[in-house]
Structure 1
């Protein structure tokens, strides 16, 4: 019997055994796996697997695909006797496909080329020609080689180590330089950013301060700015009217413009009166605080020593009493106590002023007992406050105030410092005048000068005051004994900026007067009108750091301006002593210009304005 028949008989016996056990599996679905040799695998297999009714089964035909090619051995077993191979079920299962990711993926081995570098010395034939009969070899290019000293391997290695150290030192030096340059560049960029931020903050602060001065003017310079803005607006409106209107319409528009200007002037005047009242109260408080302040001086060990004298204690008592008398929200009982204290204080001295104060105090006490309203007593209380302030300012009653008064109490000293104002025809103290260094005769006082400026020219000198203040502060830092910047006045600074430097930076980059500053041209010499240059803040910071970077044309122009300043200020006796060895006359008359002559003539007058004004 062949092997195939034996196998079929064994399969038949297994089917009988399974048939015997099938009644026990009634009502259940069963699945059977069979292993067949690959060479003898049938095309169809009939088996009773699916039950239909109780005890009835249906034959199910299972179709098996026979592969056309020989499958690889992926696992299984082999019959040692027959040599038949039995494969696992994996050979009947198709491989699982990987999901498509939408990206073409290649293997690294197919994309990477393995390279190998290897040096190889090829053989080369060499030959040497020697002299022989019929062949002559020249010996002109021959060299005599002498063997040198023997160099051991250790010395050769040490040379290489030293050379490597030299190379490493140069490489590390280069890396250190690169790092230091990088750090220096970062510091430079940070400094530039900080400077730019500081300039922006200063510009914003300057604009904010200017707006505050426009909205809430308090000082004379603030009102000069308002009047200057008013004059600029009036000129623009007048120019617009003259260019667009004619005849009766033009006259009507000019009249309306005049009325608007009058309203603006009246509004500014009311603000000026209010500011003067506030400034007067601040000035009074500052005067009383200075009188009541203790004496201070610095000891040898650096400590600050304060001492109260009888005069300062007396001034402090009068200051506190003046504050309580002017207190508005005080009750009637507190007001009576303050009035009685004031009465006892002034009765210590017998004079007409104290008798007037006592009389007014008695009158207010009498009216308060009659329950008169506080609003009706404001005028009386104001008179009491004014007389009491006069009492405080009298050195006989308050000795400490004599050190704070501008007008000396000695008539002999007063006679030497009195000057006549040619505008208001009053004799005033020298503190009421602000002459420039080029003025030879005292003309008008500050009040008359300000009034004339408001009525006619309406010039704003605050920008020149800012330039002069910055100049003095910078020179104090460089030289504590600087004198020329403190001799110049606003008119001198205005002449120096407008006439000599044409209200513009020396580099012609900025014409904003609030951004311009004066610095030294030669940093080793003190500042003077013949050793200065007008620059913007940014240009001034760069000018201080660098040297000799200007073109020859610019340097000649700056030297020419120095000669103009020297010629103008050399006419002032107090400034002539600060000139150097070169004589102003040696400069030649080539520097004289009509503009300087006109300005000099205006300065040589007695202070009255020109006739065309």
Structure 2
């Protein structure tokens, strides 16, 4: 025991380090004793004799009288050696460092101690108290710090960029305080509180094992002791024996339980055999038999696994097949609905035609009926009967044409009012434009307001079923409106208004005034269409107000011999402006060919939509017109599909021949809607199709190239295309106007 006490004393002396303030640093014990407990007080009492001396000196000084001059100087020295708690706040991080420091030392020594702790030069440290810089020669006693008291000071760095103030170990990583207060008995049952600073050694604690969480991977280590391990005295001899591994040797007998013992039936002892089991040895299994059984088990498992995989694959193929069949059924239903919608639309256009295309459809149906009847008559009759049947057919055709003409006149009259209302609405519409944020901005001017007033007045004048008083009020308003401008047109309108007012006052019936009222409406509409009276209408007039523009935009129609504007002629890329006008072409179509272009219009519309999705900069499909596409379908592709020879024009579409190149008349193919999806998946047409089919398609491309190369606007895109597969590819040039054509048009313009 004496040896052990000696070892503990030596170890405590080794762990005690002198501090700058003259105090001692001590580690807390390994156990969980409270800082204020008696054991800790006793341990501190045994291990810190300097603290006891300080306490005794303080008690002695307290017992001496204050007026003793001889003892005043030693008392000052003892007070200077007393320690106090100094809390230093590191600016601007806000970390707090707590140290026990002698109040008799200067601020310079405090800075030196803290500089070594923070590992920064002492010259960059600056200590301040209450926002006032403290001089280095001042001591803590001069700053008002009392023994065993506390003070809070701020410390900053004059060069925070190069030497920032950061503690080597953040305080949140420590669970133990830096300074503890210990109560030390001084005698007579009294205690004195002594401040003790805890020293933190720089060495790393030994790893003593731990645990790891299987789910989160977090590691939990065993806690290490806070004191240094005890140093055992070196005996000079290395001992490896049982004595060094066993704490205590003891011999003890061990008795097994009864239920694990074995007892045999004998004389005087009966053991029941009810719970006994008879175990018979089995057959011996060799290694080959064991491996063979394992192989059969593996084969069985593989067979079941492959069966499961095969079922999964078959199920996947079945789902793919069902999805494919559903998609094909959906496509067929969509095509069927689209075809039925086209038939309903055509039937509606037959029964109630409203546009020029609708009447062309009627004339086309009439021509088809006439051809069928004529073929039937020629095949079944002959001689005079044939001539009589043909005359009857001619009369029926004339009656049907007259019926269509009357219906066309009625539709034109009905559409006239709609056209006028739409024209007046465009005149009175406000100016619109898009702002930078996408909002639609509308602006009204005095001209748009004037146009709306004239539109409303025209609607009131055109209302013939109004009451007499209301009609008189409308006529007076119209009279005052047109009298603002003095001209022959306004004078005629005023005369007609006065005549209607006079007849109404005489009691003339409204049915007899219908012609007069229509004359007033016609003249007022002419008044509205005059830019001098309605400036907003100038932008909607077909005839320009500038005579120079009108002269350069007039062309002669070879059929009706009238000078018309360019908008009255066909806008096809291959058409000439000096040919027939639209009215003459429509009249010739009604009288002779009776063609219907709605199917070609649908093909062109579908082509433009598809190319717009594939390439937003596509231009060639938008340069072609319905007449150009009609030539391409009828002449080049013979109005049938290139694969299955389908002749249903409502089911044919144009797609790219080579999908990587833009669409053009020399890079296209005419297919049915069912064949387009399969063709668009072809990567290389020369590998997917036969050579004969490829040569036939390239021949059609050569015909289209030869035709469209004569058009200057198409020749520009023709030259920019890459070389074709054919060796005799045409290199076209823009066609210029010949001298004869110029000579023909010059006199016409002069006239």
TM-score, normalisation: structure 1 = 0.66
Partner of 1:482 in structure 2? 618
* Larger mean Cα displacement after TM superposition, 549-558 or 526-535: 549-558
Whether the 8 Å CA contact 2:570–2:577 is kept in 1: the answer is: no
- The 5 A counterparts of 1:332-371 are 332-371=468-507
Match of 1:282 in 2: 418
1:315 aligns with 2:451: yes
SS class of match (2:717): coil
Paired residue for 1:561?
700
1:384 shift after superposition? 0.9
Residue of structure 2 equivalent to 1:574: 713
Higher relative contact order (CA 8 A, sep 6+): 1
Aligned to 1:302: 438
The aligned residue for residue 407 of structure 2 is: 271
Q: Determine the structure 2 residue equivalent to 1:588.
A: 728
Partner of 2:397: 261
Looking at structure 2, the residues matched to 235 and 581 of structure 1 have their Cα atoms a distance apart, in angstroms, of 44
Q: How does 1:406-425 map to 2 (within 5 A)?
A: 406-425=542-561
Measured in 1, the distance between the counterparts of 2:656 and 2:695 equals: 16
Q: 1-side partners of 2:462 and 2:555: how far apart?
A: 36
8 Å contact from structure 1 (residues 530, 562) kept in 2: yes
Cα distance in structure 1, aligned partners of 2:530 and 2:346? 40
| Residue 582 of structure 1: how far off its partner (Å) | 5.5
Distance in 2 (CA, whole Å) between partners of 1:399 and 1:169 is 87
Deviation for aligned residue 1:179:
5.4
Shift of 1:460: 1.7
Q: Is the 8 A contact 2:665 2:701 kept in 1?
A: yes
Match of 1:201 among 322, 325, 337: 337
Aligned to 2:326: 190
The answer to whether the aligner puts 1:501 opposite 2:641 as a matched pair is no
Aligned to 1:525: 661
Q: Structure 1 373/441 Cα, relative in aligned 2: closer, same or farther at 3 Å?
A: closer
Please give the alpha-carbon distance, in whole angstroms, between the structure 1 residues aligned to 2:396 and 2:464. Answer: 38
Higher deviation after alignment, 490-499 or 263-272? 490-499
Unaligned runs of 5+ in 2: 1-281, 288-293, 732-743, 745-751
Task: Please state how far the C-alpha of 1:328 moved relative to its aligned partner.
Answer: 3.4
Deviations 1:310-360 (CA, angstroms, capped at 9, x unpaired)? 222111111111112112332222211211121111111111111111111
Local SS of the residue matching 1:360:
helix
Give SS of 1:561's match: helix
Task: State how 1:386-465 maps to structure 2 within 5 Å.
Answer: 386-440=522-576, 442-465=578-601
Q: How does 1:131-146 map to 2 (within 5 A)?
A: none
Give a deviation string over 1:285-306, Cα, whole Å, max 9, x none.
Answer: 1111111222221111121212
Q: Deviations over 1:115-164 (max 9, x none)?
A: xxxxx98999xxxxxxxxxxxxxxxxxxxxxx9xxxxxxxxx9xxx9999
Per-residue deviation, residues 255-314 of structure 1 (Å, max 9, x unmatched): 211111111111011011112112222221111111122222111112121222222211
Shift of 1:183: 4.3
Task: Give the SS at the match of 2:655.
Answer: strand
Would you say the 8 A contact 2:709–2:715 is kept in 1? Answer: yes
How many Å separate the matches in 2 of 1:517 and 1:353? 54
| Residues 294 and 306 in structure 1, CA contact (< 8 A), matched pair in contact too | yes
User: CA 1:122/1:557 → structure 2, altered by over 3 Å: closer, same or farther?
Assistant: farther
Matched residues in 1 for 2:726 and 2:674: separation? 36
Deviation at residue 542 of structure 1 after TM alignment: 3.1
Deviation at 1:503, TM superposition (A): 0.4
Query: What SS is found at the alignment partner of 1:267?
Result: helix
Alpha-carbon distance in structure 2 between the residues aligned to 1:315 and 1:464: 40
Q: Distance in 1 between matches of 2:577 and 2:479?
A: 49
Which is further off, 191-200 or 221-230? 191-200
Aligned partner of 1:50 in structure 2 is none
Aligned length: 443
**Cα drift, residue 251 of structure 1:** 2.1
Q: CA RMSD in A?
A: 3.4
Q: Judging changes above 3 Å, is the alpha-carbon distance between structure 1 residues 347 and 560 closer, same or farther for their aligned structure 2 residues?
A: same
Change (3 A) 1:178 1:216: same
C-alpha contact 1:570 1:584 (8 A) present in aligned 2: no
User: Does the 8 Å contact 1:217/1:223 carry over to 2?
Assistant: yes
Q: For the Cα contact (< 8 Å) 1:566–1:584, is it kept in 2?
A: no
Report the CA distance shift for 1:581/1:518 in structure 2 as closer, same or farther (over 3 A).
Answer: closer
Cα deviation for residue 546 of structure 1 reads 4.4
Cα deviation, 1:185-228, whole Å, max 9, x if unaligned, reads 44333332322221111111100010111111111111111112
Alpha-carbon deviation of 1:501?
0.6
The runs of 5 or more residues in structure 1 that have no matched partner are 1-119, 125-146, 148-156, 592-605, 607-613
8 Å CA contact 1:393–1:401 kept in 2: the answer is yes
Deviation at 1:174, TM superposition (A): 6.3
Contact 2:558–2:579, Cα closer than 8 Å, also in 1:
yes
Q: Which moved more, 1:547-556 or 1:471-480?
A: 547-556
Q: In 2, distance between residues paired with 1:526 and 1:375? A: 64
> Paired residue for 1:513, among 624, 641, 649?
649
Contact 2:702/2:729 (CA < 8 Å) preserved in 1?
A: no
1:509-531 Cα offsets, whole Å, 9 max, x none, are 42111111111112222110011
Asked whether the 8 Å contact 1:506–1:533 carries over to 2, the reply is yes
Do the aligned partners of 1:311 and 1:398 also contact (CA within 8 Å) in 2? yes
What SS does structure 2 have at the residue aligned with 1:419?
strand
Distance verdict in 2 for CA 1:165–1:288, change over 3 Å: farther
- Closer, same or farther in 2 for the Cα pair 1:238/1:307, shift >3 Å? same
TM-score normalized by the length of structure 2: 0.55
Whether the 8 Å CA contact 1:435–1:442 is kept in 2: the answer is no
1:380 CA drift (Å) = 0.8
Query: Are the equivalent residues in 2 in contact too, given 1:298–1:304 (CA < 8 A)?
Result: yes
Distance 1:368 1:268 in 2: 39
Distance 1:545 1:328 in 2: 64
Cα displacement (A) at 1:383: 0.8
CA distance in 2, matches of 1:169, 1:392: 88
Q: Which residue of 1 aligns with 2:174?
A: none
Hey, which of these two has a bigger chunk of helix by percent? 1
